[in-house]
């Protein structure tokens, strides 16, 4: 079978799935079943595998809590693995278009739409998923204004590590000439200030890219080691880079939310309290620990930069960082937003 035929069959299957969902009343808004006493079923779409850590730690608990609070009258049906749209960058669009009632989005993939949220990745703000999520909570009122949706959860994963295939990175000089995959455009100027070049690629292709030498390394949260099996092509792992976390947000279609009764909105608000965001953070923290352990057990050499070398990295990005702080982000400067995070004096 040719590659073109395979792609055509894949597109056909996706269209069939979406057509069945629309016919069943799931896509395009919450479904109310007249034969179940006003029961409403909300669709939750995401691009992650069905067995991803967020499913067990966040999405399913949200569904169970809503079902409990509502006495079974408000439920959530999950559509994982891109069943409604496989593009991670398109999740916000399918939410706005009513294809899904609830959707997981990665703001850094469309940083021009969510520039303030994307700033959580700025160097020097935070290192752990919990720290970064707490920082986002402090700025939540400002960040929420970027979304034309009801924000159910806002959290981060751990700051990225650097996985390389052939060259270990012990010093600043070791970065020279490397081609590094990054998760967000905001990290590109900092990687380049270290002497490397940076490219953006979807997570689904980084394993192959690193294996074949298309890229020399991957800057990614340790949880990505598990998700993309990066312990296989990587030989070295440097545990520190001048960057903070990658943001995630769980959104609900505003029209769907506002169409619910006051009682139903109360159930949503109670289920999506601060503990929901923290559940996302702790899930990524655990997955990150698993990723580092997986890499070490696979024989990947773990490199902890000495403090003297960390200071050299920080000096190398100092001018880029200062310019970034002065950048205008909507009605605020980046420095003003980052102050809300607690990241700069």
Band of pLDDT at residue 344, cut at 50, 70 and 90: confident
Q: How confident is the model at residue 31 (pLDDT cuts 50, 70, 90)?
A: low
- Residue 39: per-residue pLDDT: 87
Backbone angles phi, psi at 263, to 5 degrees: -65, -45
User: Would you say residue 7 lies in a domain?
Assistant: no
Place of tokens 């179940």: 36
| Block residue for tokens 């009258």 | 73
In a domain, residue 10? The reply is no
Query: Per-residue pLDDT tens for 64-89?
Result: 999 999 999 999 999 999 999 999 99
- Share above pLDDT 70 across residues of the chain, in percent, rounded to a whole number: 89
Q: What is the distance between the alpha carbons of residues 186 and 191, in angstroms, rounded to a whole number?
A: 10
> Could you report how far apart the first and last alpha carbons of the chain are, in Å?
60
User: What is the distance, to the nearest Å, from the Cα of residue 108 to the centroid of all Cα atoms in its chain?
Assistant: 8
Whole-number average pLDDT of the chain: 90
Task: Note whether 37 and 136 are same-domain residues.
Answer: yes
Say if residues 263 and 40 touch (Cβ distance below 8 Å).
no
On whether both 281 and 299 belong to a single domain, the answer is: no
Q: Say yes or no: 135 and 224 in one domain.
A: no
CA 268 centroid distance within chain: 22
Q: Which tens digit of pLDDT belongs to each residue from 274-308?
A: 999 999 999 999 999 999 999 999 999 999 999 99
Structure confidence by residue, pLDDT tens digits, 216-270: 999 999 999 999 999 999 999 999 999 999 999 999 999 999 999 999 999 999 9
- Residues 137-147 pLDDT 10s: 999 999 999 99
Within 44-128, residue ranges assigned H as helices are 53-54, 60-70, 91-96, 115-118
66 and 100 co-located in one domain: yes
Looking at the structure of the chain, the number of domains it has is: 2
pLDDT at 94: 97
Residue 58 DSSP symbol: I
User: According to the model, what pLDDT value does residue 30 have?
Assistant: 59
Claim to verify: residue 146 and residue 77 sit in the same structural domain: yes
Asked if the structure places residue 282 within a domain, the reply is yes
In a domain, 19, yes or no: no
Same domain membership, residue 165 and residue 118:
no
Instruction: Looking at the structure, tell me whether residues 211 and 268 fall in a common domain.
Output: no
Report yes or no on 166 lying in a domain.
yes
Do 196 and 125 belong together in one domain?
Answer: no
pLDDT in tens, 89-120: 999 999 999 999 999 999 999 999 999 999 99
- My answer on whether 188 and 266 are in the same domain is no
Is 171 in contact with 306 (CB distance < 8 Å)? no
Residue with tokens 């999405």: 59
**Does any domain span residue 12?**
no
What is the reported pLDDT for 38?
76
Domain range for 316: 161-244+294-341
> What is the β-pairing status of strands 197-200 and 179-182?
parallel
Tokens 């074949």 belong to 212
**C-alpha separations of 205 from 84, 182, 209, 228 in Å:** 20, 12, 6, 9
Are residues 82 and 41 part of one domain? yes
Q: Does residue 279 lie within any of the structural domains? A: yes
Instruction: Say if residue 23's pLDDT is above 90.
Output: no
- 293 burial (CB, 10 Å; 0-12 / 13-18 / 19+) is middle
In the numeric block, which tokens belong to residue 104? Answer: 């997981």
Alpha carbons 316 and 312: distance in angstroms, whole number: 6
- The strand pairing partners of 217, in sequence order, are 164, 180
Same domain for 177 and 324: yes
**Is residue 18 situated within a structural domain?**
no
pLDDT, tens only, 199-222:
998 888 999 999 999 999 999 999
> Do 71 and 98 have their domain in common?
yes
Question: 3-class DSSP state for residue 129?
Answer: helix
Does residue 12 sit in helix, strand or coil? helix
CATH code of the domain in which 88 resides: 3.40.190.170
> From CA 174, how far away is CA 33, in angstroms rounded?
61
pLDDT for residue 309: 98
């Amino acid at each position: 079978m040719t590659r073109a035929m395979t792609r055509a069959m894949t597109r056909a299957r996706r269209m069939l799935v979406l057509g069945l969902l629309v016919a069943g009343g799931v896509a395009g808004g919450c479904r109310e079943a007249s034969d179940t006493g006003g029961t409403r079923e909300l669709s939750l779409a995401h691009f992650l595998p069905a067995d991803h850590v967020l499913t067990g730690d966040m999405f399913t608990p949200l569904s169970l809590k809503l079902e409990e609070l509502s006495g079974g009258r408000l439920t959530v049906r999950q559509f994982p693995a891109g069943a409604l749209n496989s593009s991670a960058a398109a999740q916000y669009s399918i939410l706005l278009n009513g294809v899904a009632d609830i959707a997981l989005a990665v703001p850094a993939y469309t940083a021009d739409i969510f520039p303030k949220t994307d700033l959580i990745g700025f160097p020097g703000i935070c290192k752990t998923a919990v720290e970064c999520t707490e920082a986002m909570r402090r700025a939540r009122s400002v960040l929420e204004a970027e979304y034309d949706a009801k924000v159910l959860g806002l959290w981060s994963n751990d700051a990225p590590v650097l996985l390389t295939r052939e060259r270990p990175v012990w010093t600043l000089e070791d970065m020279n000439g490397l081609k590094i995959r990054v998760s967000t455009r905001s990290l590109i100027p900092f990687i380049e200030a270290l002497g490397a070049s940076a490219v953006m690629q979807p997570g689904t292709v980084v394993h192959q890219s690193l294996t074949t030498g298309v890229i020399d390394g991957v800057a990614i949260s340790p949880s990505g080691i598990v998700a993309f099996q990066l312990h296989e092509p990587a030989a070295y792992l440097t545990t520190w880079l001048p960057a903070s976390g990658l943001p995630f947000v769980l959104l609900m279609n505003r029209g769907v939310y506002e169409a619910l009764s006051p009682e139903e909105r109360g159930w949503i608000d109670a289920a999506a309290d601060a503990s929901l965001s923290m559940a996302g953070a702790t899930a990524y923290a655990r997955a990150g620990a698993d990723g580092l352990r997986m890499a070490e057990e696979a024989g990947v050499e773990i490199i902890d930069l000495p403090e003297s070398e960390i200071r050299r990295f920080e000096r190398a990005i100092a001018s880029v960082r200062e310019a970034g702080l002065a950048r205008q982000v909507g009605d605020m400067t980046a420095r003003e937003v980052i102050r809300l995070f607690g990241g700069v004096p």
